[in-house]
Amino acid sequence: MSEAEIISPGRTDGRAIDQLRPIRFKNHIAPHATGSTLIEWGDTRVICGVTIEDSVPRWMKEQRVEGGWITAEYSMLPYSTLSRKQRDSTRGKIDGRSTEIQRLIGRSLRAAVDLKKLGSRTVWIDCDVLQADGGTRTASITGAYVALGLAIKRLMAEVKIKESPIINSIAAVSVGIVDGEPRLDLCYVEDAAAEVDMNLVMTGKGEFIELQGTGEEATFSEEQLVAMLSHGRKGISELLKLQEAALEAC
Ligand code: UDP
């Protein structure tokens, strides 16, 4: 049996240590968006909608920056978590976690696109978590890439842009160490128990866009880091194939 097939007795869902949860895309979930998909990743589900506007932020005009911009917003719907999460609009402020995640989504998607080729346009990426079971930021980035691809396809079909501005395929996945074992794609129960929690955002060329890794009241060795990166690379390559299939399907 190869390492890829090692079933972890500790995983509540019986997965191998380097196995992703089942992933599906339901495209065109939000018809008024330029491109949209619902990414279902195990029990985590995120609606990713992309809207493209024919204008750029004021700072770009003022600084005479050529091309377009990509920005992202992330939020968890009140019923996405086990106990109801109050809307930011009712609380009157965006929580720090959401701000951190939406910045990560924006940075990740900007690495996928040649902003000059986008023209004077702003791409709004909205990620709304319908159901949270760990990995909502990685599902948001992975789904947003598909929604963006659908939006660009639409602009090209409408002959609004001639050449695709997408220069990198991108995907994101979590890895971590639970019970001393490096594992791919943590669900909530694992995330909550993890000694180490890491999020990887990578391109189809095998390069890194972002690595967020922290020991939770624990430390990790270089050997464990290498094992997590190896699981992560495997997960990313599988995700890229699923994204490609979702984009080809329509
Ligand atoms: N979570 C929650 N309420 C919150 C924040 C997080 O229930 O306000 C849960 C949710 O299942 C989420 C998980 O904790 O997916 C892990 O959260 P984390 O901040 O690590 O981000 P994520 O793994 O979702 O990217």
Q: How much is the pLDDT for 167? A: 97
The upper half-sphere exposure of residue 181, i.e. CA atoms within 13 Å in the direction of its Cβ, equals 20
pTM of structure: 0.96
Residue ranges around ligand 1 (CB below 6 Å): 81, 85, 97, 132-137, 188, 191
Q: How much is the pLDDT for 10? A: 80
Tell the residue nearest (CA) to atom 13 of ligand 1.
134
Whether 8 has a pLDDT exceeding 80, the answer reads: no
Whether 4 has a pLDDT exceeding 80, the answer reads: no
> Which residues touch 183 (CB under 8 Å, ≥6 apart)?
8, 11, 17, 18, 175, 176, 177, 190, 231
Work out the average pLDDT over 183-200. Answer: 97
Q: CATH assignment of 3-248, given 3.30.230.70, 3.30.2310.20, 3.30.1330.10, 3.40.30.10?
A: 3.30.230.70
Q: What's the pLDDT band for 217 if we cut at 50, 70, 90?
A: confident
pLDDT digits (tens, 9 = 90+) for 101-149: 999 999 999 999 999 999 999 999 999 999 999 999 999 999 999 999 9
Which of 74, 81, 86, 129 is the best mutation target for the ligand 1 pocket, counting ligand atoms within 8 Å of the beta carbon and taking the most? Answer: 81
Whether 1 has a pLDDT exceeding 50, the answer reads: no
216 CB neighbour count, 10 Å cutoff: 13
Q: How much is the pLDDT for 2? A: 45
Q: What's the pLDDT band for 5 if we cut at 50, 70, 90?
A: low
Which of 188, 189, 212, 216 is the best mutation target for the ligand 1 pocket, counting ligand atoms within 8 Å of the beta carbon and taking the most? Answer: 188
Q: How much is the pLDDT for 210? A: 97
pLDDT digits (tens, 9 = 90+) for 153-172: 999 999 999 999 999 999 99
Q: What is d(CA 69, CA 54) in angstroms, rounded to the nearest whole number? A: 11
